[in-house]
Structure 1
Amino acid sequence: MDFLGVRDKTFVIFGLANKKSIACAIGKNLVAAGARVIHVVRSEQRLETAQKLFPESSVFICDVEEEENIVAVRDKIKALLGETQIDGIVHSIAFANYSEGLKPFHETLKKDFLQAVNISCFSFISIANHFKGLLAPTASVLTISISTTKMAAENYGYMAPIKAALDSSLCFLTKSFSAFSAIRFNAVAPSLLKTSASAGVPGYVDSYLYAEKVIPRKKSLKTTEAADTATFLLSERSSGIVGQTIVVDAGMAMNYFDAEIVRAVA
């Protein structure tokens, strides 16, 4: 039985970087379930990587920092698909500029913050807007958030408020799209993952190892676990989930006062 019902449906995934990416894991789930997957990546190098990982998938390049690039890739995908509609879009894109090193939050540079908002949050809104004419009436549009935006992890800095804005956009997009469709917007919010993108966050390894201790099973969250939830949200089996940020953290948030950690600190 095809429980998810994604066989022969079409999905566009933005953000694959390499085999460790959550975008890659979601794509593999969909392909395994018989879906057609189109990847959109940032650079020529990532295009070659995506083609190796997904030899039967079409791959396009789009740097979402410039909105005209989103319009251009929309047109290319439209030409490829013809009358075929898109059943789901994945936005797995985030960027923060730490080129000047880690700063206290109140010293965040305006240009860095606005660039990160543009790439990490506004691009999701822009993709939804420009692709709306290609989407099926009951399509699922998904982004990747973080498990909490209300814990002041110093090394994550200004990205948490930006992810909070991304989370907030879900209900507004769903509401505005409800005027002409039943398209849903949701987010998967994993705890710390072992991805190349995460490795760019200062001090991430220490945070990752700490999270592993806090998780009740004492094993870190797997990228495939977050991807499994994302795949479900892309399917019509999740049709009752609308405008939500689904936390996938293996229980980390309920276990900050783990006895082993308390003893180690005290």
Structure 2
Amino acid sequence: MGLFSGKKGLILGVANDYSIAWAITQKLVDEGAELGFTHLPGEKMERRVRRVVDPIGPKLLVPCDVQKDEDIAAAFSAAKETFGTLDFVLHSIAFAPLEDLKRPFVKASREGFKLAMDISVYSLVAVSRYASELMPEGGSIVTLTYYGGEKVVPGYNMMGVCKAALDASVKYLAYDLGPKNIRVNGVSAGPVKTLAASAVGDSDKLAGLYEAISPMKRNITREEVGSTGMFLLSDHASGITGEILHVDCGYNVMGSPGQALEAALQAKG
């Protein structure tokens, strides 16, 4: 018997086999979960996601544009028809126009800001609303965030502001859905090479920074993030809600370069 034997969930946001959502999915599958997935509308996007998920035998694969309430409603209607109820939902969706990601935040466009907030933040609100209707006995909702929503990370720009709003949304959703025994949490991972990270850029430099500054003197692995996401979705985290759980080898606790500074000073002199 696996930790998720008899548990059913919907995964939103698998783009390819490098996605953090896919790392979490693999851990869920190992523990016996029954899973459904969404993909962006269109045959090309369906083929991309199907190529990744087909080997694990998904129970459901449906199109969903999170900018459209009717698409979200249809996706959860299909989940209800397939599973009856849901035990968990993983939200791994973020987007901002590339030109807005590349420019300083002060130069962000109004339309780009609205689009990024709609897809990266409001989608969690809408998804949680529909998910809660399929969780009569309670459940768990997890989203993916990043430290750039808490502190300035040069190059993260508009997405950092979106992640700050996402982090606040986690807390307010946790409050709203707590009486229904539905938990809402976020996983804040260190630098991982993903499609989204490639759009932001400088992921290799960030990985090196984490290796130099974090208390554990290394960066995290995709598998570690997968295990943490699986934990938060499981009954083992039944008393945790409204949290942003960092998987970054302790980087977020540092207020100075620490040992990296000492090493640099020793090398200098």
Cα distance per residue 1:96-138 (max 9 Å; x no partner): 2123662121111111111111111100100111222212422
CA distance in 1, matches of 2:200, 2:148: 16
Give the direction of change, closer, same or farther, for the CA distance of 1:122–1:101 in structure 2 (3 Å limit). closer
Segments of structure 1 that go 5 or more residues without pairing to the other structure are none
Select the residue among 5, 10, 34 that pairs with 1:7.
Answer: 5
CA distance in 1, matches of 2:142, 2:207: 24
SS at match of 2:230: helix
Select the residue among 46, 49, 66 that pairs with 2:48.
Answer: 46
Q: Is the 8 A contact 2:101 2:156 kept in 1?
A: no
Q: Which residue of 2 aligns with 1:74?
A: 76
Q: Which residue of 2 aligns with 1:139?
A: 139
Q: Which residue of 1 aligns with 2:164?
A: 164
CA distance in 1, matches of 2:252, 2:186: 17
**Aligned-pair distance for 1:261?**
5.0
SS at match of 1:158: helix
SS at match of 2:164: helix
CA distance in 2, matches of 1:23, 1:136: 25
**Aligned-pair distance for 1:169?**
1.2
Summarize the alignment of residues 136-215 of structure 1 with structure 2, pairs less than 5 Å apart.
Answer: 136-179=136-179, 181-215=180-214
Amino acid at match of 1:249: D
Cα distance per residue 1:134-156 (max 9 Å; x no partner): 12422011111113523222210
Instruction: Give the alignment's Cα RMSD to 1 decimal.
Output: 2.2
Aligned residues: 261
Q: Is the 8 A contact 1:184 1:242 kept in 2?
A: yes
Same amino acid, percent of matched pairs = 28
SS at match of 2:47: helix
Q: Is the 8 A contact 1:199 1:205 kept in 2?
A: no
Q: Is the 8 A contact 2:149 2:167 kept in 1?
A: no
Length-normalised TM-score, structure 1: 0.89
**Aligned-pair distance for 1:230?**
1.0
Segments of structure 2 that go 5 or more residues without pairing to the other structure are none
CA distance in 2, matches of 1:109, 1:192: 26
CA distance in 2, matches of 1:130, 1:107: 35
CA distance in 2, matches of 1:120, 1:100: 14
**Aligned-pair distance for 1:228?**
0.8
Summarize the alignment of residues 17-28 of structure 1 with structure 2, pairs less than 5 Å apart.
Answer: 17-28=15-26
Higher helix share: 2
